[in-house]
A and B are shown apart, each in its own frame.
Chain A
Amino acid sequence: MISLASALGPVQQHYLVQARQIQALSFAVHIPLVCFGIAFPAMVLFVEWMCRRTGDEVYGLIARRWTKVMAALFAVGVITGTVLSFEMGLLWPNFTATFGGVFGLGFAIEGFSFFMEAIFIGIYVYGWNRLSPRMHMLSGIPIVIAGLTGSLMVISVNAWMNHPGGFTLTSGQVTHVSPVSALFGNPYLWHELVHMYLAGYMVTGFLVAGAYAVGRLRGRWGRFERTALAVPLTIAALAAPVQVLVGDWAARDVAKYQPTKLAALEGVGHTVRGAAEHIGGWYSNGGVQYGLRIPKLLSLLAYHDPNARVQGLDAVPAADRPPVNVVRISFQTMVGIGTLLALLGVIYLFVRWRRRRLPESVWFYRALAAAGPLSLVALIAGWVTTEVGRQPWIVYGTMRTTQAVTGAGGIPIGYATLALVYAGVAAGVVWILRRLAAAPLAPAEPARPTVHGA
């Protein structure tokens, strides 16, 4: 195998682990906001449309209040995303320098998507009470589309990192670059896109509905709250069972294109036929200890054949294996939560369908209050599975993370600075969400809180 000659040459970096943690921290801050960027505009728009259609001002009130939340979270999404863009150079300059010509196009197109999103969010948020109702609703549609195209572009980059193509290595140099086929001709793209997009709807739906569930547990339960809970909950409940099927698709793609990652996901030490699935437990000495063992299930799930051969970690040298327990526990966390959320969704849909009302059990609302944070945990766990599972590669099988990292000093200082700033931002976001939630339900056309006329 030809090894890669990185564009900027090799460096010694003592703080690789910290660099990875900075990247992980920055993603962990950005991704939840992204979920709101993906799904919230559609929900706000739906509620506004219901208001126009039924003339029921409760919907209008909800749409206005949610618009404020959307505007605040979008602003924070923008800045955390900007930091990620900086980190492409600050943390991984050799990755960008070597492969920017291959994957960069995805981000360049994404830039336009962000433009559209930012422009129309400006018009939508500040156009309430100013534009005609029709124009206002129309101005919301590009935001929804941009949420999809933005995800498509950034995921195309991530999918390329996981299943790289569209270039040739000629004596260590990257040649014959074809960015379009690298990004969009990649079979790994589609499960990631659909899985992440649905995750956006689940996280947003369960978090928003969960907030009103907490309100109900505290005795706030008017028509406003019931409506504001039902809309996001219905959406999340529809997405949750589908997500399990998409997760199965994702696992089969991983089995096909990244057998080492699959082995880490499942703690398969040695290559076997008819591999067993283990639930829980801990991986050591080439196998899962103390887990609940279900014979042949893994082969069945991953290849839809109970006797299929599953490649073990021993198929690659120890230096090419990811940290198994981190990946495996994250994966099991996601799958566990995903199963519970799907169950919750099905229960809700069943009650809606058969009884034509919201569930009444206090346990349902307790579960719903937990579902929001749990869906966030599943989201982060999923990304840990994908990203840590790809290690030690930044570009699977081609470039190691050690080759990508910056040679600059001062990573610990940068880490401390960012951690501090993010803690402040998180506190600020909590503060503003509580303020917005505590504000009394205003009349339909709120007086504008300004100091000047016009």
Chain B
Amino acid sequence: MLYALPLVFALIGLALYGVLGGADFGAGFWQLTAGSGRGADGLRQRAHDSMGPVWEANHVWLIFVLTVFWTAYPKAFGSIASTLSVALLLAAVGIILRGAAYALRTGTDEPRQQRAIDTVFGVSSVIAPFALGAALGGIASGRVPVGNARGGEISSWVNPTSILIGTLAVLTGVYLAAVFLCGDANRDGEPELAERFRVRALAAGALAGAVALGGFAVLHGDAHPLYRGLMTGGGLAALTVSVLAGTATLALIWTRHYEPARFTAAVAVAAIVAGWALAQSPRLLPGLSVRQAAAPRDTLVAVVVAIVAGGALLLPALGTLFRLVLGGRLGHVP
């Protein structure tokens, strides 16, 4: 089982990135679509402020996933990155523009300039998760063969499954962001703003759910092994959890219970990652099982030890950060 342990950690990291990083991307979307006027500026500011202290830490989950993956499954990593190079470049460009826009925003108080920066931020906040989701879709639908750029450079990420998962990645982020921002605005005594995010959360949640359901038709035709995996055994169980948690979130938002909604929304997204993993296991890439892809034993042991030791340091620190943030105890850049 040692050979699969780093993958489990990487998937936990991916789920956390999907929830935390995804919500940061989603906040960018709400900035993009805020419109104009005083109310819109307030909405954009809220989205920006909520993200400020945490987005860098949330982003590191992506780095975590990458590094664990290339250390523990180097051959699979090389195959994936070379075949999906276009999608990953696109994601990288999105990530650069996003971070740069974020850094620049602190430099200006002028609404006009802020709006321009928020537009770059918002557009790149859609590109990056879409490209990352599309890349995952290429892996999930078996379009990444083992080898140095052996798969289709375009078809590996422009295909029905990729488009579905890319779209879902954007939508779930948008949905999560609305749920979280709703809670933040409510906590900070801004009921009017909370109400606006509530409407957005309900709309985005309904849309994401609808696309996910419709997506099964796509998977049925385009990625049948994955579809079968999701309809049986562990895959089905995880899927059920996700649907239940997603529905519960909508109900909680509807009834204005924002704090518990944060957690059910997160569970809904994490369960999808788990479901994908269970549906696809033990295959990592076509003709390459997780066990075959794994690095030598000493490396696996070292990685696991490093993750456990690092986690022992990390989790309390991360807990402190989120306690401060969720408690509304952090302010602004001085």
Q: Which residues of A contact B (CB under 8 A)?
A: 7-9, 11, 64, 67-68, 71-76, 78-83, 85-86, 88-90, 93-94, 96-102, 104-105, 107-112, 114-116, 118-123, 125-131, 142, 175, 177-180, 406-410, 414, 417-418, 421-422, 424-425, 428-429, 431-432, 435-436, 446, 448-454
Chain B 188-201: CB-based contact to A (< 8 A → 1; otherwise 0): 11100100000000
**Secondary structure of the A side of the interface?**
helix
Which chain B positions have C-beta within 8 A of A449? 109, 332
Q: Which residues of B contact A (CB under 8 A)?
A: 41-42, 45-46, 49, 52-54, 56-57, 59-60, 62-64, 66-68, 70-75, 77-83, 85-86, 88-89, 91-93, 95-100, 102-104, 106-109, 146-150, 153, 188-190, 193, 295-296, 298-299, 302-303, 306-307, 310-311, 313-314, 317-318, 320-321, 324-325, 328-334
A72–B333 CA distance with the chains assembled, in angstroms: 10
Say whether A421 contacts B153, CB under 8 Å.
Answer: no
Say whether B93 contacts A421, CB under 8 Å.
Answer: yes
Say whether B99 contacts A79, CB under 8 Å.
Answer: yes
Say whether B71 contacts A104, CB under 8 Å.
Answer: yes
Which chain A positions have C-beta within 8 A of B68? 108, 111
Contact pick for A428, options B64, B100, B328, CB 8 Å: B100
Q: A119-B317, A407-B148 are in contact. List 4 more A-B contacts (CB 8 A).
A: A108-B303, A178-B298, A179-B71, A431-B107
Say whether A425 contacts B330, CB under 8 Å.
Answer: no
Residue of A nearest to B82 (CB): A93
Residue of B nearest to A442 (CB): B334
Contact pick for A108, options B81, B306, B333, CB 8 Å: B306
Q: Give 29 pairs: A residue, B residue, CB < 8 Å, sorted on A.
A: A7-B74, A11-B149, A64-B334, A72-B107, A75-B56, A83-B95, A86-B89, A89-B85, A93-B78, A93-B149, A94-B148, A96-B77, A96-B81, A97-B79, A100-B78, A111-B64, A115-B60, A119-B321, A123-B330, A127-B330, A177-B296, A177-B299, A406-B82, A408-B83, A421-B96, A425-B100, A429-B103, A449-B109, A454-B328
Q: A74-B56, A432-B107, A452-B42 are in contact. Are A88 and B333 (CB under 8 A)?
A: no
Residue of A nearest to B99 (CB): A79
Say whether B74 contacts A101, CB under 8 Å.
Answer: yes
Distance (Å) between the CB of B81 and the closest chain A CB? Answer: 2
Which chain A positions have C-beta within 8 A of B318? 115, 119
Which chain B positions have C-beta within 8 A of A414? 85, 89
Say whether A448 contacts B332, CB under 8 Å.
Answer: yes
Which of B49, B314, B334 counts the most A-chain CB atoms under 10 A from its CB? B334
Q: A436-B107, A452-B42 are in contact. Are A98 and B317 (CB under 8 A)?
A: no
Say whether B334 contacts A75, CB under 8 Å.
Answer: no
A85–B96 CA distance with the chains assembled, in angstroms: 13
A105–B190 CA distance with the chains assembled, in angstroms: 46
Which chain B positions have C-beta within 8 A of A105? 71, 299, 302-303, 306
Distance (Å) between the CB of A398 and the closest chain B CB? Answer: 15
A72–B222 CA distance with the chains assembled, in angstroms: 44
Q: A119-B317, A130-B331 are in contact. Are A428 and B80 (CB under 8 A)?
A: no
Distance (Å) between the CB of A106 and the closest chain B CB? Answer: 9
A-B contacts at CB below 8 angstroms, number:
301
A137–B52 CA distance with the chains assembled, in angstroms: 20
Residue of B nearest to A100 (CB): B74
Which chain B positions have C-beta within 8 A of A67? 333-334
The 3 A-B pairs with the shortest beta carbon distances in the complex, nearest first, are: A89-B81, A104-B71, A97-B78
Distance (Å) between the CB of B330 and the closest chain A CB? Answer: 4
A432–B106 CA distance with the chains assembled, in angstroms: 8
Which chain B positions have C-beta within 8 A of A7? 74-75, 78
Contact pick for A88, options B70, B85, B103, B321, CB 8 Å: B70
Distance (Å) between the CB of B124 and the closest chain A CB? Answer: 10
Which chain B positions have C-beta within 8 A of A97? 74-75, 77-79, 148
